[in-house]
Amino acid sequence: MLNNVVGEFLDFLKKNKKLSKNTLESYNRDINQFLNYLEEIGVEYYNVKKSTILNYLYYLKKKGKSQATVSRNLSSLKAFYHYLFMKKKIEEDPTYMIITPKVEKKPPATLTVEQVDMLLSIDFGDDEKGLRDKALIELLYATGLKVSEVISLKLEDVNLSYGYVVIRSNKERVIPIGSHAIDALKNYIEKARKAKNGENTLFLNLRGEKLTRQGCWKIIREYTDKINPGFSVTPNTLRQSFAQHMLQNGADIRAVQEMLGYQTDLNTNLLSLISKSKIKEVYNKFHPRA
């Protein structure tokens, strides 16, 4: 009976909330963990009170669970008991009026300028893979692009003569690239890039097909493990490092936001005043590898 209730709840989420498989698994795990707790204390799921929920959250904290984990568990239980109440399987929602505590966000992980220099001083090699990987990492740090943006770049989006790339998303962005990235991209395009069936995407896997997100992450992890084993470095780490190093060197925050593609109601008008030449000037003056 109980398994049926949980199964019905998960089916409801899947059909009505369009949640990912991982999110559904997280709900399932959190709820079953709570049901195991109820079994230990001899309480049926339909007899749970507000105090039961609060005691459970305290129980999780005593077990050393992080605030983020506790908050996620509460969110799962709120969704579950709201569903039970909506379906008239319980008379009162025990999670009603329990406030989910705010989770303090950690600042994004970044590399120091010295670590980036170490990373990009690695001997990548002169073969197809090495030249591609060097160009990819140089470009990610040179531009602060998202992984989705860098793997979507086409050959025509890169102008090595004038030193910029064009991002053609909701709003077109023109981002300067420095001499190190230009040299790495020239070497890759001229000596190593081998497209299959006329593939026009800039970065390709070794089969000549478009590089995937997973492929990009794997490449970065391969080389960052050489300078700092175990430290989780992602494309976003390079993106955040780009922004931090530019700002540390005195770059105008609005110009950096423009390059990253950040837009808010507060600064949209201000950002529109920054010309492409101003961005180029800021980039050349403040990027460590310009």
> Among candidates 212, 206, 181, 211, which has minimal Cα distance to 194?
206
With pLDDT > 90 as the criterion, what percentage of the chain qualifies? Answer: 57
> Each residue of 15-25: pLDDT tens digit?
887 777 888 89
> Each residue of 91-143: pLDDT tens digit?
999 999 898 877 666 666 788 888 889 999 999 999 999 999 999 999 999 99
- Note whether residue 282 is domain-resident: yes
Annotation marks residue 72 as catalytic:
no
- Note whether residue 97 is domain-resident: no
Predicted pLDDT at 104: 63
Predicted pLDDT at 14: 86
Q: Structurally, how many domains does the chain consist of?
A: 2
Do residues 256 and 123 both lie within one domain? yes
Identify which has the larger pLDDT, 207 or 171: 207
Do residues 56 and 117 both lie within one domain? no
Active-site residue, selected from the candidate residues 164, 207, 283, 289:
283
Predicted pLDDT at 43: 94
Do residues 245 and 133 both lie within one domain? yes
Do residues 70 and 147 both lie within one domain? no
Q: Say whether 222 sits in a helix, a strand or coil.
A: helix
- How high is the mean pLDDT of the chain? 86
Annotate 31-94 with DSSP letters as a single string: HHHHHHHHHHHT--GGG--HHHHHHHHHHHHHTT--HHHHHHHHHHHHHHHHHHHHTTSSSS-T
Predicted pLDDT at 269: 39
φ, ψ (nearest 5 deg) of residue 240:
-70, -35
pLDDT at 277 over 70: no
Do residues 79 and 139 both lie within one domain? no
Mean pLDDT of 176-192: 95
Mean pLDDT of 172-190: 94
- Note whether residue 92 is domain-resident: no
Annotation marks residue 168 as catalytic:
no
> Each residue of 186-228: pLDDT tens digit?
999 999 999 998 899 999 999 999 999 999 999 998 988 887 7
Domain enclosing residue 77, as ranges: 2-86
- Buried residues in 15-47 as b, exposed as e (16+ CB within 10 A): eeeebeeeeeebbbebbeebbeebeeeeeebee
> Each residue of 235-275: pLDDT tens digit?
888 998 988 888 888 888 888 888 888 754 333 433 343 44
pTM here is 0.59
Predicted pLDDT at 273: 38
pLDDT at 46 over 60: yes
Confidence of residue 153 (pLDDT cuts 50, 70, 90): very high
Q: HSE on the CB side for 205, CA within 13 Å?
A: 11
Active-site residue, selected from the candidate residues 132, 173, 193, 239:
239
Predicted pLDDT at 108: 65
Predicted pLDDT at 168: 86
Mean pLDDT of 162-191: 91
Predicted pLDDT at 225: 83
- Note whether residue 107 is domain-resident: no
Predicted pLDDT at 279: 64
